[in-house]
Amino acid sequence: MGKRAFRIWVAGRLADDFAESIDPNLNQEETEASTSLSGELVDQAQFRGLLDRLGNLGIEVIRFETYGSSSTEGSQTEPSG
């Protein structure tokens, strides 16, 4: 897969140090209603692991995007219920 950049939007605001507590390489940006987490992935398993971790913490993923060295650059997905 090669390294790919990603951004995940979650509902609500998270603690200021949330991203760093999960992975020191994650970036965190907040708006009034949501938080975005971004960084780079080594493989799909790492991405799925992050999504699973957020779900296990009860954090609602609103949307995610990946960018990078794939034939589907800039893919957007909204998670299904």
pLDDT in tens, 64-74: 998 876 544 45
Domain that holds residue 30: 4-77
Query: 34: which residues sit within 8 A by CB, 6+ positions away?
Result: 9, 10, 11, 12, 13, 62
Grade residue 3 by pLDDT with cuts at 50, 70 and 90. confident
Distance (Å, whole) CA 22 – CA 5: 17
Give the CATH number for residue 71: 3.30.70
Kindly report the number of other CB atoms within 10 A of residue 6's CB atom.
20
Host H or E run for residue 47: helix 44-56
> For residue 13, is pLDDT > 90?
yes
The residue among 62 and 73 whose pLDDT is bigger is: 62
Over residues 33-52, the mean pLDDT reads: 92
Report residue 70 as tokens.
Answer: 């794939």
Read off the pTM. Answer: 0.76
Give residue 81's pLDDT.
56
Number of domains in the chain: 1
